[in-house]
């Protein structure tokens, strides 16, 4: 017992929610209102006041980082907090399947395939499926399969799909690919990310005894960010909570941003229907953001039509003005950010209190370069991460194959790294043999003498090497084992021959060994457990970031996508690329509900800011190697009314002049003319993404717009005539 009066550290609404004891409950509230804080205090309260055993409490969060943070916060509040089960859905799935997967036919030592491994399998099988052309990218199939899994659909469900096509592929072909993918994966004793949830659901459905066991370990269940659960996660939660019914979920429908991955906002909206006896708690005060920042966020999200209205009042004062900067191009935008970061830092703000958020990972490069020029330490979270690097994946594939000899995907990855004199023809023959005999490729290698006419000794040697690795796997710590692999596989020599680049790769491998070392100081288990964790590291995770920034001080500016920023907060936030085609993204323009989802994403971005918020857009941006003119995001206009002064067209001109001139270091003066969005000429004002018709070229889609009024030019892609640049005034275009 800490003897602390926990509930007094919350406001009355939060305290009421945190005091909730048994039965289902929903905490629904806007950003920064203390949902996560309330959830943690509720756990503390259960233990302190109701003497619930921490070993019977489960809290599911969105990222491992959030789980770690929760654990850290809980440790200050609760004695015995190390017994709490705090994890992501996926890590919970791994843990349950490792313990009980055998009940549904999963073999011990199964490995977890990531996105790339999935593609490897799909590439192999798709060629032989009628209806899937050579120009189909395996990614399309992967996304069909992932989506099916998030909705708990089987290949059989795709057979019965109501439309003849799924994502452009014939229904039967998609179903067949799904089916073959599953059986191939099963033969390789592997499961993918989606399976971590769906297989756990199946286990719970088919083996009630196991469900009961897990329920004993999770008598009180909490889910943070419930608005982003998909159907499979929903079902998993429902099954777990079905006996004791102590389920408390928190979320904000306005922050639902993972529809593209199958998240279903309806899960939170229907909570009261699913649990008719549930209590609902609303929180109405935002503790995070200045009143100005919050005002903008509220103003923006009101433009969504499909939403549940909520009150969100600022606790903080007005605070500093929000700065908007329209740079000439993307480099200018990067410099704007760098200048402000320098300035804030000079005023005493540490770099790690600042974050730059963007829509797509590709935007990070320019920002990073601008920062580097003036020696600002920055860390990119996400993107091509440490664990996606070739050498890391190679060594981890060696490790995987060592503990799971039927992992053909891993074998194919490494058999030629380093080169072992096993050619394509030999591989093909062994593959066929393996298929006919229903064995793995490694078994084929071991039997090469009866398969190949010549050169059989090479595969046999490889099989022997792998056998030695398998034996060693159990006897070494993860770090020593990885080191052993790097040295004994020939990989080290390979890199030594690669000069400078090899040296960099070698350093990364050394870092991998250190990561494993570090992992062992916090975790129990051998290489298999380490591999599980490495596979689960999501892009916002600590371990990954730490490794990526090994040479950098802890004090660095965070660069990440708005998706990755969910749940986090920073005193200063920059949101860059607030442009049409980026935010909202080009793809979203063609999807039902797309704009609303993008608006929620922007809302998430804005509400990460505690004190200072900077927005920026570029007028010209390089994309796919071409510089194109860019337009301010429509969302900026929607924010217009949230400022003190706006121009006649509802634009934030006055505000911008004030902040731009007064605050923005080294900025050019504001243009005297605002881009034309006058209602009078609105008929001519085209936007990127719009569908238009030309008397000669037919129908097309606007890619870019430049200039204004009489001089406005549009770049249009026409289905038949290709891409044309046209002056609007003369082109005789009409909107479709
Ligand atoms: P999001 O929707 O972004 O996930 P949230 O609703 O989970 O936000 P929290 O992260 O829990 O909000 O809280 C936001 C900030 O406000 C945190 O810094 C938290 O410590 C602070 N806060 C919340 N409630 C209180 C309170 N009653 N007193 C002081 N600070 C509070
Ligand atoms: Mg939260």
**Both tokens of residue 120?**
């490897």
d(CA 591, CA 402): 45
Q: Is 255 a catalytic residue?
A: yes
* CB 310, CB 285: distance < 8 Å: no
Check whether 35 is labelled as a binding-site residue.
Answer: yes
Pocket flag, ligand 1, residue 557 (CB < 6 Å): no
Q: Spot the catalytic one: 192, 195, 199, 224.
A: 224
Pocket flag, ligand 1, residue 252 (CB < 6 Å): yes
Q: Is 696 a catalytic residue?
A: no
ipTM: 0.99
Q: Is 608 a catalytic residue?
A: yes
DSSP conformational letter for 496: H
Strands (E), 234-353: 247-251, 279-283, 285-286, 313-314, 323-329
Long-range contacts from 4-13, C-beta under 8 angstroms, 24+ separation: 4/77, 6/41, 6/44, 6/45, 6/48, 6/77, 7/41, 7/45, 9/41, 10/34, 10/37, 10/38, 10/41, 11/283, 11/285, 13/281, 13/282, 13/283, 13/284, 13/285
Q: Spot the catalytic one: 117, 176, 199, 225.
A: 225
Query: To test the ligand 1 pocket, which listed residue (32, 67, 540) has its Cβ within 8 A of the most ligand atoms?
Result: 32
**Residue 29, beta-bridge partner list:** 283
d(CA 126, CA 137): 10
* CB 589, CB 578: distance < 8 Å: no
Query: Which residue has the CA at smallest separation from atom 8 of ligand 1?
Result: 32
Contacting residues for 536 by C-beta, under 8 A, at least 6 apart: 64, 88, 90, 91, 94, 112
* CB 152, CB 235: distance < 8 Å: yes
Instruction: Say how many Å lie between the CA of residue 568 and the centre of ligand 1.
Output: 10
* CB 207, CB 100: distance < 8 Å: yes
* CB 610, CB 569: distance < 8 Å: yes
- Cα three-residue angle 647-332-384, rounded to 5 degrees: 120
Residue 443: its H or E element: helix 441-446
Q: Which atom of ligand 1 is nearest to the CA of 33?
A: 6
Q: How many residues does the chain have?
A: 736
Pocket flag, ligand 1, residue 292 (CB < 6 Å): no
Q: Spot the catalytic one: 35, 288, 505, 675.
A: 35
Q: Is 36 a catalytic residue?
A: yes
Chunked in runs of 10, what are the mean pLDDT values of the chain (736 residues)?
78 96 96 96 94 96 82 86 91 93 90 86 89 86 94 95 90 95 92 94 97 97 96 96 97 93 89 94 95 93 88 90 84 90 94 95 85 88 69 92 92 91 90 91 93 89 93 89 92 86 82 83 87 70 46 78 92 96 90 93 98 91 76 87 36 36 35 30 57 84 65 75 75 81
Pocket flag, ligand 1, residue 288 (CB < 6 Å): yes
- Per residue, the 3-state secondary structure of 149-199, as one string, reads HHCCCCHHHHHCCCCCEECCEEHHHHHHHHHHHHHHHHHCCEEEHHHHHHH
Q: Is 723 a catalytic residue?
A: no
Ligand nearest to the CA of 570: 1
**Both tokens of residue 89?**
């859905």
Pocket flag, ligand 1, residue 34 (CB < 6 Å): yes
Pocket flag, ligand 1, residue 31 (CB < 6 Å): yes
pLDDT of residue 585: 92
d(CA 136, CA 701): 23
Backbone angle region of 500, left / alpha / beta, with phi > 0 → left and psi within -120 to 50 → alpha: alpha
């Amino acid at each position: 017992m800490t003897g602390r009066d926990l509930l007094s550290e919350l406001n009355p609404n939060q305290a009421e929610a945190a005091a909730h004891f048994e039965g289902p409950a929903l905490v629904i509230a806007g950003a920064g209102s203390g949902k996560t804080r309330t959830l943690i205090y509720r756990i503390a309260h259960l233990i302190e006041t109701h003497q619930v055993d921490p070993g019977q409490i489960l809290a599911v969060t969105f990222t491992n980082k959030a789980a770690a943070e929760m654990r850290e916060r809980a440790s200050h509040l609760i004695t015995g907090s190390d017994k709490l089960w705090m994890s992501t859905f996926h890590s919970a799935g791994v843990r349950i399947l490792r313990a009980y997967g055998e009940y549904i036919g999963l073999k011990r030592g199964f490995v977890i395939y990531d996105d790339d491994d999935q593609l490897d399998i799909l590439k192999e099988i798709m060629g032989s499926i009628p209806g899937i052309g050579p120009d189909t990218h395996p990614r399309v199939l992967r996304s069909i399969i992932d989506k099916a899994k998030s909705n708990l659909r089987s290949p059989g469900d795709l057979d019965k799909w109501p439309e003849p096509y799924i994502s452009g592929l014939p229904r039967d072909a998609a179903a067949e690919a799904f089916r073959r993918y599953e059986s191939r994966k099963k033969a390789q004793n592997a499961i993918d990310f989606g399976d971590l949830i769906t297989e756990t659901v199946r286990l719970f459905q088919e083996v009630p005894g196991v469900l009961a066991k897990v329920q004993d370990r999770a008598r009180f269940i909490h889910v943070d960010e419930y608005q982003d659960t998909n159907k499979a996660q929903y079902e998993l939660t429902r099954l777990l909570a079905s006996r004791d019914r102590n389920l408390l979920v928190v979320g904000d429908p306005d922050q639902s941003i993972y529809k593209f991955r199958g998240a279903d906002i309806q899960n939170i909206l229907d909570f009261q229907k699913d649990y008719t006896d549930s209590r609902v708690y609303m929180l109405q005060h935002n503790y995070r953001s200045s009143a100005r920042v919050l005002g903008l966020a509220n103003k923006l999200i009101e433009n969504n039509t499909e939403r549940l209205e909520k009150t969100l009042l600022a606790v903080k004062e007005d605070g500093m003005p929000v700065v908007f900067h329209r740079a000439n191009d993307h480099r200018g935008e990067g410099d704007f950010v760098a200048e402000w970061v320098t300035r804030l830092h000079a005023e005493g703000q540490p770099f790690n209190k600042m974050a730059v958020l963007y829509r797509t990972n590709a935007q990070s490069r320019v920002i990073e370069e601008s920062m580097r020029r003036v020696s600002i330490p920055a860390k990119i979270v996400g993107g091509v991460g440490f664990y996606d690097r070739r050498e890391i994946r190679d060594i981890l594939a060696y490790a995987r194959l060592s503990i799971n000899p039927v992992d053909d995907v891993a074998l194919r990855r490494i058999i030629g790294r380093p080169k072992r004199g096993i050619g394509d023809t030999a591989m093909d023959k062994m593959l066929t043999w393996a298929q006919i005999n229903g064995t793995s490729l490694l078994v084929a290698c071991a039997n090469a003498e009866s398969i190949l006419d010549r050169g059989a000794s090479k595969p046999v040697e490889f099989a022997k090497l792998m056998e030695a690795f398998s034996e060693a796997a159990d006897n070494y710590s993860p770090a020593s084992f990885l080191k052993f692999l790097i040295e004994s596989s020939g990989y080290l020599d390979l890199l030594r021959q690669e000069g400078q680049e090899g040296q960099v790769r070698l350093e990364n491998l050394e870092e991998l060994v250190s990561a494993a070392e570090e992992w062992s100081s916090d975790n129990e288990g051998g290489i298999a457990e380490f591999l599980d964790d490495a596979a689960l590291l999501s892009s916002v995770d600590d371990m990954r970031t730490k490794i990526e920034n090994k040479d950098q001080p802890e004090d660095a500016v965070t660069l990440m996508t708005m998706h990755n920023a969910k749940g986090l907060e920073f005193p200063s936030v920059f949101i860059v690329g607030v442009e049409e085609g980026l935010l909202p993204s080009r793809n979203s323009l063609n999807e039902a509900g797309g704009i609303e989802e993008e608006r929620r994403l922007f809302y998430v971005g804005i509400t990460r800011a505690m004190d200072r918020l900077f927005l920026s857009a570029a007028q010209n941006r390089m994309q796919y190697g071409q510089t194109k003119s860019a337009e301010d995001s429509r969302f900026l206009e929607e924010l217009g009314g949230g400022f003190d002064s706006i121009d006649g067209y509802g634009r934030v001109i006055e505000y911008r002049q004030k902040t731009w001139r007064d605050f923005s270091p080294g900025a050019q003066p504001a243009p005297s003319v605002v881009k034309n969005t006058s209602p009078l000429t609105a008929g001519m004002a085209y936007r990127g993404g719009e569908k238009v018709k030309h008397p000669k070229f037919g129908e097309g889609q606007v890619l870019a717009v430049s200039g204004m009024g009489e001089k406005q030019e549009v770049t249009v892609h026409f289905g038949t005539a290709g891409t044309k640049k046209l002056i609007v005034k003369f082109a005789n275009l009409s909107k479709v």
